[in-house]
Structure 1
Amino acid sequence: MSQRTRKFFGMIMLVAWVILYAAVGMTIGAAVVANATPLAQILFFLITGLIWIVPAGLIIRWMEKQV
C-alpha cells in the first residue's frame, strides 16, 4: 500500500473513530452520568475526553509508517 493510500484510509478511519467515540461517550454521559455527582461527571468527561487520543495516535502512527 502506498503512503498516499495509507494516509487516505487512515484519515477515513480517524474521522469515523472520533465520530463513533463521541457518540458513544455522549450517550453514556447522557444516560448514566447525568444523574451522578458533579465530581463524577467531571472525572467521566475528563477521562473520556483523553482516552480517544491513544487509538488516534495508533492510527496516525500506522499512517506514517514507511512502506
Structure 2
Amino acid sequence: MNKRTRKFIGMILLVSWIILYAAVGMTVGAAVVANASGWVQIIFFVISGALWVVPAGLIIRWMEKD
C-alpha cells in the first residue's frame, strides 16, 4: 500500500475515532459522572480528554510508515 493511500485511510480512521470517542465520552460523562463529586468529574474529564491521544498516535505512526 502506498503512502498516499495509507494517509487517506488513516485520516478517515482518525476522524471516525475522534467522533466515536467523543460521543462515548460525553454519554458516559452525562450518564455516570454528572452525579459524582467535583473531583471525580475533573479526574474523569482529564483522563478521558487525554486518552484519545494513544490510539490517534498509533494511527498517525502507521500513516507515516514507509
Band of TM-score, shorter chain: over 0.9
The answer as to 2:17 corresponding to 1:17 is yes
Uncovered stretches (5+) of structure 2, i.e. residues with no partner: none
2:52 partner letter: W
1:28, CA displacement in angstroms? 0.1
TM-score by length of 2: 0.99
User: 4+ residue runs of structure 1 moved beyond 4 angstroms?
Assistant: none
Q: Residues of 1 paired with 2:59 and 2:18: CA distance?
A: 11
Q: Which letter maps to 1:28?
A: V
Distance in 2 (alpha carbons) for counterparts of 1:28 and 1:36: 12
Deviation at 1:47, TM superposition (A): 0.1
CA RMSD of aligned residues (A): 0.2
1:7 aligns with 7
**Paired AA for residue 64 in structure 1:** E
Q: What is the aligned partner in structure 2 of residue 61 from structure 1? A: 61
Q: Percent identity?
A: 73
Deviation, structure 1 residue 20 = 0.1
1:21-52 deviations in Å (ceiling 9; x for gaps): 00000000000000000000000000000000
Number of aligned residue pairs: 66
Q: Given the two structures, how large is their TM-score scaled by the length of structure 1?
A: 0.98
Residues of 2 paired with 1:6 and 1:47: CA distance? 29
1:48 is matched with 48
